[in-house]
Amino acid sequence: MVPPYKRKRGAEALRRVIVHVGIPDEFEGAEFEVLDMAHIDGLSTPPKFVTLGEISTILGAKF
């Protein structure tokens, strides 16, 4: 269930989110690149989950 947003910009941002189950058609058959540094096997204790906030921070979000 997706929570309702109090601000208009939050609702608009949610409408722009695109989620795919599996591989999207435009990437079917494309060659994938695996980043060895980002692989989960490199962690000493793999996390059970990752929050969207953590991913956003790593990608450069400033909030």
Q: Count the domains in the chain.
A: 1
> Using one digit for the tens of pLDDT, what is the confidence trace for 17-50?
888 888 888 888 999 887 777 777 766 776 778 8
Residue 50 inside a domain? The answer is: yes
Residue-range definition of the domain harbouring residue 31:
8-59
Residue 1 inside a domain? The answer is: no
48-53's contacts with Cβ under 8 Å and 24+ in sequence apart are none
Give the pLDDT score at 37.
Answer: 76
With beta carbons less than 8 A apart as the criterion, state whether 7 and 13 touch: no
As a whole number of angstroms, the distance between CA 2 and CA 11 comes to 10
Give the pLDDT score at 14.
Answer: 86
Give the pLDDT score at 46.
Answer: 66
Give the pLDDT score at 54.
Answer: 84
Helix (H, G, I), strand (E, B), or coil: what is residue 4? Answer: coil
Contacts of 2 (CB under 8 A, 6+ apart): 14
Give the pLDDT score at 62.
Answer: 78
